[in-house]
Amino acid sequence: MQHAEMTDTPREVISVTHLWAGYDSEPVLEDINLSVRELDFVGLIGPNGGGKTTLLKVLLGLLRPTRGNVRIMGKSTKEGRRDIGYVPQSVELDRDFPISVWDVVRMGRLGKRGLLQRYTIEDERVVAEALRDVEMLGLRNRPIGELSGGQRQRVYIARALATEPRILLLDEPMASVDPQVSGSLYELLSCLNDHVTILMVSHDVSAISSYVKTVGCINRRLFYHGDKQITPDMLEAAYQCPIDLLAHGVPHRVFPEHSAEEVRP
């Protein structure tokens, strides 16, 4: 691992080649090729139903691809996902669940402690550090249901960090938070990006901020060249209309301008 840092091109942490995947033989993803280098911060945007979550599921080994190859840190997904910290869409989780912030974040240690093993002092230390990283240590005893959307998102990021990941995968991280809050979440992610690779997906073009290093569009196919900018070509290819697939009713014609502005560092 140390060798990779010395060479000029960072090493590849996610490698997807000619991937096809879907449900009941209906392809949702077609011929996806994606190579993510260490310490990149990738933002993928695409319309709802465009296969963003499906791609994450394949990367996490939760959905078997119909064709193609996926390697995480050079290993199979079942092995490689030990290095992934996953932050799901927070709307999918039960807010009323009787659980404290601390207990949620401690679930990040499940992969390190097998069946019948107890959590150790080491686990407590890692959990505390993860909570400190996201500035939520003070609220560690709060029930998860009493937090705001942004705070909850921080907790799920802390849970992912508690797995001591090399890669963070985030599914719509800004979906349930205010614009001001998403700004501070991006600052947090950008800090974390100093030592972990980040891949996030979103349906909302305006959610992709200047902190993102490379961007791509996904709608069944992936349009990603490892660049910083979304080109009108990519958008057009990904969002082949109809217009109501677009995020938040942003009119189609202002779309490329808007996104180019957002993406500029």
Partner 1 sequence: MIEALNEALQFTFMRNALMAGVLVSIACGVIGAFVVVNRIVFISGGIAHAAYGGIGLGYFFKFNPVLGAVIFSVASALGMGTVYRKTRQRADTIIGVMWAIGMAIGITLVDLTEGYKADLMSFLFGSILAVPSGDLWIMLVLDLVVIGLVALLYKELLAISFDETFASVENVPVDAIYLILLCLIAFTVVMLMRVVGLIMVIALLTIPAAISGQFVKDMKKMMVLASILGVLFTTSGLWLSYFLNLTSGATIILASGVAYLFSLALQSMVRRARPESAN
CA distances from 252 to 17, 196, 205, 245, 257 (A): 31, 34, 12, 10, 10
Q: In this structure, are residues 160 and 109 in contact, taking their beta carbons and an 8 Å threshold? A: no
Give Cβ neighbours of residue 128 (< 8 Å, ≥ 6 apart): 137, 140
Stretch that binds partner 1, among 99-107, 187-195, 203-211, 250-258 (CB under 8 A): 99-107
Gyration radius from the chain CA atoms: 18
Distances (CA, A) of 124 to 61, 188, 197, 227: 28, 22, 24, 39
Distance of CA 66 to the CA centre of its chain: 22
Taking CB under 8 A as the criterion, the residue among 5, 17, 48, 107 binding partner 1 is 107
- The 44-63 contact track toward partner 1, x by CB under 8 A, reads ----------------xxx-
Pick between residue 78 and residue 195 the one whose CB is nearest to partner 1.
Answer: 78
| Touching partner 1, residues 67-96 (CB under 8 A) | 78, 81-82, 84, 86, 88, 92-94, 96
CB of 148 to partner 1, least distance (A): 5
x/- site string to partner 1, residues 109 to 148, per CB under 8 A? -xx-x-xx--x-----------------------x-xxxx
Can residue 161 be called a binding residue for partner 1 (CB under 8 A)?
Answer: no
State residue 223 phi and psi, 5-degree precision: -115, 100
CB of 242 to partner 1, least distance (A): 27
Residue 73 and residue 80 in contact, taking contact as beta carbons nearer than 8 Å: yes
List interacting residues with partner 1 (CB under 8 A): 60-62, 78, 81-82, 84, 86, 88, 92-94, 96-100, 103-104, 106-108, 110-111, 113, 115-116, 119, 143, 145-149, 159, 163
